[in-house]
DNA sequence: GTGAAAGCGCTAACAT
DNA sequence: ATGTTAGCGCTTTCAC
């Protein structure tokens, strides 16, 4: 609680010798206010150090000028970069951002977090690691909501997501194009449901590229990992070695896994890309600065965020009334030294 | 604005057949409410899906149960991890977190951001890359504020910070202990004010370790960089090579710089740690997964955050009335393979 | 243990 | 172009 009593509209009005209505008009750039009055009011505001009370304003107007963002945690670089993009885009639109994190394992029930956040926001962006059809419905959220993950069933809100399958297909296609025929895939694997639609789609893209090239992938080269982190990437390589399954390339389902893969390969003396080519997914800032720089999939995160916020604002303003739809943003392959591209 | 009209206390009271006062008591766990009444009210809350309106509650009570956090951007891993720590710690205390970012270069005036954020929070944590004496004063902020950076002058609020000089001294000492005598230092340098007290303190620690070991450092081995990012680390190595100044170790002022350094050394074929030992600062999650794993300084970030939040809550609750003070958290050296430690 | 009612600071409908 | 005022949903004082 502030030690000094808050300066209110009334104080400003008294100081400037006008009514609260006029001050409110000045503050909100409403209606016509004569230049002389405006200047008087602005001076009073400066003198008193007035700042509008956001709680009162929200209570009265029903709008908070705040967007909610729900994500797993900042420590995963993809989500950190996503958060920066959301802040930049929201700020441009004149909104603040209130964040809730779900914890690394999504331990908090997402519907609860969303419902709670909805009370203080005009609209919500949800970006869990994945979303299945039952986790979240539009009914859980009294304000508009846009998901930043792929859609399984129509739960009544918009989805703006990367095209996981297509990205994974691009990466695998690239590795096959280098003549690699034993491409390990790390992250998700058949019968490994932990990473939901995302893991499943990225695995399907891997299969699709093989099918298109007429190559039959060896099931023994697919390693599901509990987490998609550096440590898991490292252990996945050890697991492959344990299985005795030789491989000449690795497609890691995210860049963090790929960091662990590079580290493990270095430790056992394999040359990248000569012995093993490595590709990741996400194109985090670190990717181009690894040793060697990492070939990866740029999922178009900026475009995802900008589109999602645009849709969300349209819902908030009531200019978008259509059914919830799914927009998939096309990914781009970034070829770097880890698959023989330029250093 | 919600499509369905909001469910209010009044609605719950009507549904449960009690007064709003009673519902409020149940919601806030106040006073004595008979078990029967409590159950009736809780049932009504569940049936109607009531959620307290946070704006109204804040307006009335003067408290928002929200802490503000001001940081440069999430894309720098140190700040991402800091944000996760703040969320965890704040949540334990029953507070939400409202974040504002300053942009990578701190382009937004920090005093403005803080003043603005203060309107919707009970207290604020500020963690800019650095803070000089003139940037921010307690007067800019009507709610309690704790800075997560070192203090230059007493501006009237608490500071809880890492001990930059000591951390840097530990790292340099370690490199000197390995017998290295030409230790390049990257980030800040004499006459390079861009990184404020932080850069200055880390440079002083480097000097202090040299003095203690009776070694005179070569000024030509100090490289100031505009940013503390991977790219700058890479370019700093090129700059050293351009200067023709041989070096057998690098102390990078943060881990991101060290990533760029490792990359550059790899590109020109230098072996780490045999030819050049490398140490960083921050101990970001990535550090132990680089190739080779990076020796670095763990600044005790969790302890910094926990302490800062404890102080902030004490200020908010009015149980801490003392002058603003500075608490320095002791850093720890983490020895890894980049200086010959265990792989 | 519960009810009635005032009022937090602001916006906007209704005045003039 | 500016003034007056009701009331957003909640907490809390006062009465019972």
Tens of pLDDT, residues A256-282: 999 999 999 999 999 999 999 999 999
Find, among B310, B284, B288, the residue nearest to B86 by Cα: B310
B20: nearest nucleotide, CA–C1' criterion? C3
Do A343 and B267 make contact, defined as CB atoms within 8 angstroms? yes
Tokens describing residue B212: 């203690």
Calpha distance B35→B30 (Å, rounded): 13
Q: Are B130 and B113 in contact (CB under 8 A)?
A: no
Calpha distance A150→A138 (Å, rounded): 15
pLDDT in the model for residue B337:
97
Query: In this model, does residue B2 exceed pLDDT 60?
Result: no
Identity of the residue in B80, B262, B288 whose CB atom sits nearest the CB atom of A80: B80
- First vs last Cα of chain B: how many Å apart? 56
Find, among A146, A206, A134, the residue nearest to A174 by Cα: A206
Q: At what angle do helices A230-243 and A255-267 cross, to 10 degrees?
A: 50
Calpha distance B193→B187 (Å, rounded): 11
**Which residues does chain B have within 8 Å of residue A83's beta carbon, measured at their own beta carbons?**
74
- Would you say the pTM of this structure is higher than 0.85? yes
Please tell us whether the domain made up of B1-62 is placed in CATH 3.40.50.300: no
Calpha distance B274→B293 (Å, rounded): 14
The proportion of chain B whose per-residue pLDDT surpasses 90, expressed as a percent, equals: 64
pLDDT in the model for residue B321:
87
Tokens describing residue A255: 């860049």
Calpha distance B212→B112 (Å, rounded): 43
Q: What is the pLDDT of residues A54-113, one digit of tens each?
A: 889 888 988 899 999 999 999 999 999 999 999 999 999 999 999 999 876 666 788 888
SS3 B274: coil
pLDDT in the model for residue B106:
67
**Could you tell me the residue ranges of all domains in chain B?**
1-62, 164-299+333-339
Question: Within 10 Å of residue A91's Cβ, how many Cβ atoms?
Answer: 15
Q: What is the pLDDT of residues B41-56, one digit of tens each?
A: 888 888 888 888 888 9
* Strand D contact residues in chain B (20-59), C-beta within 7 Å: 20-21, 24-25, 27-28, 30, 50, 52-53, 56-57, 59
SS3 A298: strand
| B53: Cβ contacts below 8 Å, ≥ 6 apart | A59, A119, B6, B8
**Which residues does chain A have within 8 Å of residue B120's beta carbon, measured at their own beta carbons?**
54-55, 96
Query: Quick one: pLDDT band at residue A209, thresholds 50, 70, 90?
Result: very high
Do B230 and A289 make contact, defined as CB atoms within 8 angstroms? yes
- The domain made up of A164-299+333-339 has a fold known as Rossmann fold (3.40.50)
A33 touches strand D (CB under 7 A): yes
Chain C nucleotides reached by a protein CB under 7 Å:
1-5, 7-13
Do B142 and A4 make contact, defined as CB atoms within 8 angstroms? yes
SS3 B336: coil
Q: Is the dihedral of CA B118, B121, B126, B128 positive or negative?
A: negative
CA distances to A212, A259, A324, B67, B225 from B334, rounded to whole Å, are: 48, 20, 50, 32, 24
Do A74 and B63 make contact, defined as CB atoms within 8 angstroms? no
Q: Which helix (H) or strand (E) holds A67?
A: strand A66-71
Shortest Cα–Cα distance, B280 to chain A (Å): 15
Shortest Cα–Cα distance, A198 to chain B (Å): 23
Tokens describing residue A37: 């009055």
A53 touches strand C (CB under 7 A): yes
Question: Nearest 5°: phi and psi at A264?
Answer: -65, -40
Do B73 and A84 make contact, defined as CB atoms within 8 angstroms? yes
**Which residues does chain A have within 8 Å of residue B96's beta carbon, measured at their own beta carbons?**
98, 100, 120
A60 touches strand D (CB under 7 A): yes
What DSSP string runs through A95-139? -EEEEEE-TTTT-S-HHHHHHHHHTT-SEEEE--S---TTT--GG
> Between B276 and A128, where is the model more confident?
B276
> For A115-131, what is the mean pLDDT?
90
Rg over CA atoms, chain A: 25
- HEC string for B5-33: CCCCHHHHHHHHCCCHHHHHHHHCCCCCC
Q: Which helix (H) or strand (E) holds A183?
A: strand A183-187
**Which residues does chain B have within 8 Å of residue A118's beta carbon, measured at their own beta carbons?**
2, 51
Report the residue count for chain A. 343
Question: CA–C1' distance B6–D15 (Å)?
Answer: 31
Closest residue in A to B269 (Cα–Cα) = A291
**Which residues does chain B have within 8 Å of residue A231's beta carbon, measured at their own beta carbons?**
289
Q: What is the pLDDT of residues A34-45, one digit of tens each?
A: 888 888 888 888
């Amino acid at each position: 609680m502030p030690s000094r009593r808050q300066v209110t509209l009334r104080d400003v009005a008294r100081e400037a010798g006008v009514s609260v209505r006029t001050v409110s008009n000045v503050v909100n750039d409403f209606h016509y206010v004569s230049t002389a009055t405006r200047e008087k009011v602005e001076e009073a505001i400066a003198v008193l150090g007035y700042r509008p009370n956001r709680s009162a304003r929200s209570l009265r107007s029903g709008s908070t000028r705040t967007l909610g963002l729900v994500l797993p945690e900042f420590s995963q670089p993809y989500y950190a970069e996503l958060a920066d993009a959301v802040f930049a885009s929201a700020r441009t639109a004149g909104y603040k951002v209130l964040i809730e994190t779900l914890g690394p394992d999504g331990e908090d029930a997402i519907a609860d977090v969303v419902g709670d956040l909805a009370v203080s926001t005009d609209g919500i962006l949800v970006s869990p690691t994945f979303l299945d059809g039952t986790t979240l419905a539009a009914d859980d959220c009294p304000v508009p909501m846009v998901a930043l993950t792929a859609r399984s069933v129509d739960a009544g809100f918009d989805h703006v997501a990367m095209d996981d399958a297509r990205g994974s297909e691009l990466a695998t296609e690239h590795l096959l194009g280098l003549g690699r025929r034993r491409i390990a895939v790390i992250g998700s694997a058949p019968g490994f449901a932990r990473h939901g639609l995302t893991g499943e789609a990225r695995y399907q893209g891997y299969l699709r590229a093989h099918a298109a090239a007429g190559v039959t992938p060896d099931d023994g080269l697919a390693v599901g990992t509990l987490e998609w982190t550096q440590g898991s990437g490292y252990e996945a390589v050890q697991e492959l070695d344990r299985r005795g399954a030789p491989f000449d390339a690795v497609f890691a389902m995210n860049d963090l896994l790929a960091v662990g893969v590079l580290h493990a390969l270095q430790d056992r003396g394999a040359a990248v890309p000569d012995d093993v080519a490595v590709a990741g997914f996400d194109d985090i800032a670190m990717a181009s600065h690894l040793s060697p720089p990492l070939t990866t999939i740029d999922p178009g995160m900026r475009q995802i965020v900008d589109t999602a916020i645009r849709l969300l604002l349209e819902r908030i303003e009531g200019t978008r009334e259509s059914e919830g739809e799914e927009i998939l943003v096309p990914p781009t392959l970034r070829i770097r030294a880890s698959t023989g591209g330029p250093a």
